[in-house]
Structure 1
Amino acid sequence: MSQPEPGISRPTVVDAHAHYFPSTMGGFAPASGEELPRLVIDDERSGRIMIGDRVFRPVTSQLWDVEHRLQAMDDAGVRLQVISPVPVMLTYTASAAAAQEYSAAVNDALAAEVRASAGRLVGLGTVPLQDPALAVTELERMMGDLGLRGAEIGTTIGGTELDDPILTPFWEAAERLGAAVFVHPVDGGAGAVRRTGQPYDFGMGMLTDTAIAATGLVFGGVLEQFPRLRIGLAHGCGAFGWVYPRLRKAHGVWGVGPDERMRSLWVDTLVLDPEHLRLLVYRFGADKVMVGTDHPFFPDLFAAAGSFVRDAAEAHILDDDVVEPILSGNAMGFLGLPVVPPTV
Structure 2
Amino acid sequence: MAGAGEARVIDVHAHVVLAESFGAAGDLGPEMGGQDGPKPWFRVGDYRLDGVRYQGSPFMDPQVRLVRMDAAGIDFQVLSPNPLTYLHFIEPEAARGFCRTHNDALAALIAPHGDRLAGFAALPMQDIGAAVEELHRAVGDLGLLGGYIGTDMPQPLDAPAMDRLYEASVALDVPLFIHPGPAGIDGPKGDANLRGYDLDVVIGFAAQETLAVARLIFGGVLDRHPALDLCLSHGGGATAFLAGRMAQAMRKRPWSPPELRHDGAFEERVARLWFDNHLNKDASLDLLTAMVGDDRLVFGTNFAGWDAPEDLGAHRPAPKLADNARRLLRIR
TM bracket, shorter-chain basis: 0.7 to 0.9
Q: TM-score, normalised by structure 1?
A: 0.82
Q: Which amino acid aligns with 1:36?
A: G
Aligned to 1:331: 325
What is the DSSP-based 3-state SS (H/G/I as helix, E as strand, rest coil) of the residue aligned with 2:196?
Answer: coil
Greater mean alpha carbon deviation, residues 328-337 or residues 225-234:
328-337
Q: Please point out which of 46, 50, 60 is paired with 2:43.
A: 50
Taking the aligned partners of 1:62 and 1:98, their CA distance within structure 2 comes to 27
Checking the alignment, whether the CA contact within 8 Å between 2:9 and 2:316 is kept in structure 1 is no
SS of aligned partner of 1:119: coil
What is the TM-score with the length of structure 2 in the denominator?
A: 0.85
Aligned length: 310
Q: Could you say if the C-alpha distance between residues 284 and 53 of structure 1 is closer, same or farther in structure 2, counting changes exceeding 3 Å?
A: closer
Indicate how the Cα distance of structure 1 residues 16 and 192 shifts in structure 2: closer, same or farther if over 3 A, else same. Answer: farther
Picking from 257, 272, 287, the partner of 1:279 is: 287
2:259 pairs with one of 249, 255, 259? 255
Deviations 1:9-39 (A, max 9, x none): xx8111110100112223x345xx4423235
1:216 equivalent to 2:215? Answer yes
AA of the residue aligned to 2:31: R
Any idea what SS the aligned residue of 2:149 has? strand
The answer for the alignment partner of 1:136 in structure 2 is 132
Deviations 1:193-244 (A, max 9, x none): 8554225333322111110011111111111111111111111100111112
Partner in structure 1 of residue 3 of structure 2: none
1:117 paired to 2:113: yes
User: What does residue 4 of structure 2 align with?
Assistant: none
Provide the rounded CA distance (Å) in 1 between the counterparts of 2:193 and 2:174.
Answer: 35
Distance in 2 (CA, whole Å) between partners of 1:231 and 1:44 is 40
Identical aligned pairs, as a percentage? 32
Instruction: Give the corresponding residue for 1:315.
Output: none
Post-superposition shift, 1:48? 4.0
Q: How does 1:233-252 map to 2 (within 5 A)?
A: 233-252=232-251
Query: In 2, distance between residues paired with 1:115 and 1:168?
Result: 31
| Change in 2 beyond 3 A, CA 1:208/1:152 | same
Could you give the per-residue CA deviations for residues 164-220 of structure 1, whole angstroms, max 9, x where no partner exists?
112121111111111221111121697368554225333322111110011111111
Determine which structure has the larger strand proportion and give its number. 1
C-alpha separation in 1, matches of 2:193 and 2:37: 41
Aligned to 1:177: 172
Q: Which runs of 5+ in 1 are unaligned?
A: 1-10, 311-322, 339-344
Superposed counterparts of 1:21-40, under 5 Å: 21-26=17-22, 28-30=23-25, 33-40=26-33
Does residue 226 of structure 1 match 2:225? yes
Aligned CA distance change for structure 1 residues 143 and 181 (closer, same or farther; 3 Å): same
RMSD of aligned Cα (Å): 2.6
